[in-house]
Amino acid sequence: MNLILLGAPGAGKGTQADAIRDAFSIPAISTGNLLREDIKLGTPAGLKAKDYMDAGQLVPDDIVVDVLKERIVQDDCKKGFILDGFPRSIPQAEALEKMGVNIDKVISIEVDDDEIIRRIAGRRTCSACGASYHVTDNPPKHENICDRCGSRLTVRDDDTVETIKSRLEVYHKQTEPLKSFYESEGKLIIVFGQKDVKDTTRLTLKALEG
Ligand code: ADP
Ligand code: ZN
């Protein structure tokens, strides 16, 4: 089963991807996390990606597509995977088709822009495993410590009020058209983001069962 999670930055794609991963035992692949990992390691892809990410712009397709290709050929992807943050534009969706990846379902998590801005301001991210938290809505069990791996939580370089505005603009212009793209293939499922993360998870898992 190959799935795609769509949604604005901060809509909760990563959190839902992790919930699906746990429920279906398939890996959750976040291109944002892969790119941040490359930046940390100082790889050529990471060096090229950093300025785009800090500005809230999309990283050029050739870089992201290569990073994704390398990930999905790994053994743990044989039974399927969840893509979080890819594709982010129609050309990327076409690249995915060219790779021979068949997508079963696409879940779009809908959250208003005002709420997105509030959420990003309180977001904390584990720099080791990429898990994401919110200071009030989804706090870790121990302050500033990742529940999953025990590492310190940080504020991402691009989680600033200025950058989030460009990221939302990019989302509406370049990523949102993917909803009609996948709707026309009969694959789109809309999930409305709820106040409580657990409620969104319940809706997401239910959508996948049906
Ligand atoms: P969010 O969904 O919260 O914006 P991500 O971690 O998915 O966070 O993405 C962070 C940044 O990484 C994006 O703003 C963009 O610069 C880059 N990025 C991630 N995935 C892609 C992609 N598929 N295409 C282009 N850029 C990407
Ligand atoms: Zn962690």
pLDDT score at 195? 87
pLDDT (average), residues 69-93: 97
pLDDT score at 161? 87
Convert the pLDDT of each residue in 132-166 to its tens digit. 999 998 899 999 999 999 999 999 999 998 899 99
Report CA(32)–ligand 2 centroid distance (Å). Answer: 15
Which one of 36, 50, 71, 88 is the catalytic residue? 88
Residue 1 pLDDT more than 90? yes
pLDDT score at 171? 97
Residue 209 pLDDT more than 90? no
Residue with CA at minimum distance from ligand 1 atom 18: 32
Residue 197 pLDDT more than 90? no
One-character DSSP codes across 27-64: -EEEHHHHHHHHHHHT-HHHHHHHHHHHHTPPPPHHHH
- Regarding the beta carbon of 116 and ligand 1, being less than 6 Å apart is answered no
What is the β-pairing status of strands 123-126 and 153-154?
antiparallel
Active site includes 148? no
Q: What is the mean pLDDT of the chain?
A: 95
Convert the pLDDT of each residue in 3-62 to its tens digit. 999 999 999 999 999 999 999 999 999 999 999 999 999 999 999 999 999 999 999 999
Residue with CA at minimum distance from ligand 1 atom 6: 32
pLDDT score at 196? 87
Which one of 36, 71, 123, 124 is the catalytic residue? 123
In the chain, the percentage of residues whose pLDDT exceeds 70 is 100
Number of C-alpha atoms within 13 angstroms, CB side, residue 48? Answer: 12
Distance CA 101, CA 70 (A): 13
One-character DSSP codes across the chain: -EEEEEE-TTSSHHHHHHHHHHHHT--EEEHHHHHHHHHHHT-HHHHHHHHHHHHTPPPPHHHHHHHHHHHHTSGGGTT-EEEES---SHHHHHHHHHTTPPP-EEEEEE--HHHHHHHHHTEEEETTT--EEETTTB--SBTTB-TTT-PBEE--TT-SHHHHHHHHHHIIIIITHHHHHHHTTT-EEEEEPPSSHHHHHHHHHHHHH-
pTM of the model: 0.93
In the chain, the percentage of residues whose pLDDT exceeds 90 is 92
Q: What is the gyration radius of the CA atoms in the chain, in angstroms?
A: 16
Ligand 2 ion: nearby residues, β-carbon < 5 Å: 126, 128-129, 131, 146, 148-149, 151
Q: How far is CA 183 from CA 19, 139, 143, 178, in A?
A: 23, 34, 41, 8
| Closest atom of ligand 1 relative to the 13 alpha carbon | 2
Instruction: Give residues with Cβ within 8 angstroms of 34, minimum separation 6.
Output: 67, 68, 71
Helix 90-98 with 61-72: angle, nearest 10 deg: 40
